[in-house]
């Protein structure tokens, strides 16, 4: 288990972004920003553990149908904010999706292009200082893109961002060992299961290259989605040691 991971019974891809180093040698402050898979499977013990982390706001990046199908469990006094990153489902547990026809590399760039409101909301909340958590269904794709932008804003090097993204693969595959047979019975092809559980470094590396190519730089992208220099400064004061 990775040292930044948080072990709970009802989630499998929860971790703290704290501890990652910036280009200037500073560190992301632990206990302030968490990324995760969905919270509908947690029990009371899990909810109490999450509450003990001091999380004050939980951002749900899933689309409307995912939220209605798998209702999140309340966590202490944390406010839940539904900010769909994209309008359509990207649940890896939805057998109606033909994953063989979906290029996640293109979907990640789409998330950057259409998900500005959600990304801005997460960054502004992180800049306020209280601990937050953001999640999608598996905690890999939508959550990975939001984490990448946030870490880029903090000037964490790309290779650190890519390595954090890649951690989801082991977490997701370990969890799906218990679901693989059921998914196959429901018609999901084995190669599609392998694809949707993967988080190869090159996928995120390409996403970051595309961000720079389309918007020029992280700073320009942040301005484009409405995160100004003052907000970035507050984010760094809040999250960096």
The yes-or-no verdict on residue 179 having pLDDT over 90 is no
3-state secondary structure of 233: helix
Looking up tokens 């769909």 gives 84
pLDDT the model gives residue 69: 87
pLDDT the model gives residue 89: 67
pLDDT the model gives residue 97: 66
Tokens of 215: 């918007």
Phi/psi at 125 (nearest 5 deg)?
-65, -40
The yes-or-no verdict on residue 140 having pLDDT over 60 is yes
pLDDT the model gives residue 1: 64
CA dist 121 to 45, 141, 212, Å? 29, 18, 21
C-alpha to C-alpha distance for 175 and 128, rounded to whole angstroms: 34
Tokens of 46: 């899990």
Surface-to-core class of residue 45, CB atoms within 10 Å of its CB (0-12 exposed, 13-18 middle, 19+ buried): exposed
pLDDT in tens, 94-135: 656 666 667 778 899 999 999 999 999 999 999 999 999 999
Chain centre distance of CA 71: 18
pLDDT over 90 percentage in the chain: 71
Surface-to-core class of residue 113, CB atoms within 10 Å of its CB (0-12 exposed, 13-18 middle, 19+ buried): middle
Please measure the distance between the N-terminal and C-terminal CA atoms of the chain and give it in whole angstroms.
Answer: 25
| Span 59-81, average pLDDT | 91
C-alpha to C-alpha distance for 150 and 121, rounded to whole angstroms: 11
The yes-or-no verdict on residue 143 having pLDDT over 80 is yes
Q: Helices (H) and strands (E) in the chain — how many of each?
A: 11, 5
pLDDT in tens, 206-222: 999 999 999 999 999 99
The yes-or-no verdict on residue 36 having pLDDT over 60 is yes
Q: Where are the domains of the chain?
A: 15-88+100-165+203-239
Architecture of domain 15-88+100-165+203-239: Alpha-Beta Complex (3.90)
pLDDT the model gives residue 175: 74
pTM: predicted TM-score of the whole model, two decimal places: 0.93
Cβ(50)–Cβ(42) below 8 Å: yes
Cβ(147)–Cβ(59) below 8 Å: no
| Span 75-82, average pLDDT | 92
Looking up tokens 């990640």 gives 108
Looking up tokens 């982390």 gives 53
């Amino acid at each position: 288990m990775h040292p930044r991971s948080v072990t709970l019974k009802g989630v499998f891809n929860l971790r703290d972004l704290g501890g990652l180093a910036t280009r200037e040698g500073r560190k992301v402050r632990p206990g302030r920003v968490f990324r995760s898979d969905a919270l509908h499977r947690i029990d009371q013990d899990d909810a109490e553990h999450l509450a003990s982390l001091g999380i004050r706001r939980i951002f749900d990046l899933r689309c409307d149908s995912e939220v209605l199908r798998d209702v999140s469990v309340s966590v202490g006094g944390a406010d839940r904010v539904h900010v769909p990153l994209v309008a359509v489902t990207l649940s890896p547990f939805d057998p109606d999706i033909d994953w063989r026809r979906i290029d996640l590399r293109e979907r990640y760039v789409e998330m950057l292009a259409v998900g500005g409101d959600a990304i801005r909301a997460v960054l502004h909340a992180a800049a306020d200082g209280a601990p937050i958590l953001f999640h999608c269904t598996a905690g890999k794709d939508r959550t990975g893109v939001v984490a990448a932008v946030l870490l880029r804003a903090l000037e964490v090097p790309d290779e650190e961002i890519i390595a954090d993204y890649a951690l989801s693969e082991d977490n997701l595959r370990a969890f799906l060992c218990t679901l693989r047979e059921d998914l196959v019975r429901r018609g999901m092809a084995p190669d599609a299961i392998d694809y949707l559980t993967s988080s190869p470094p090159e996928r995120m590396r390409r996403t970051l290259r595309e961000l720079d190519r389309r918007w020029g730089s992280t700073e320009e992208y942040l301005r484009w989605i409405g995160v100004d220099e003052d907000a970035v400064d507050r984010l760094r004061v809040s999250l960096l040691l």
